[in-house]
């Protein structure tokens, strides 16, 4: 299974469901730290993807 096999609606559904499940288990401070972590994680993935795209051209 690969993320590219999912439709955009499926990806939104999975992300939302996961966020709700995690959000119910953590307190506000823990959620803030986790959200900041995933923001940094996503930003780094975007940098890697952009560099790969440029290298393929």
The domain spans of the chain are 27-57
Give the pLDDT confidence score for residue 1 in this predicted structure: 67
Digit-coded pLDDT (tens) for 7-57: 999 999 999 999 999 999 999 999 999 999 999 999 999 999 999 999 998
E strands, 1-57, are none
Dist. CA 54–CA 49, nearest whole Å? 9
The pLDDT value recorded for residue 3 is 83
Phi, psi of 26 (to 5 degrees): -115, 155
């Amino acid at each position: 299974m690969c993320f590219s096999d999912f439709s955009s609606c499926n990806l939104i559904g999975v992300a939302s469901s996961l966020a709700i499940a995690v959000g119910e288990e953590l307190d506000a401070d823990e959620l803030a730290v986790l959200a900041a972590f995933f923001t940094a994680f996503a930003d780094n993935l975007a940098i890697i993807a952009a560099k790969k795209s440029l290298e393929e051209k």
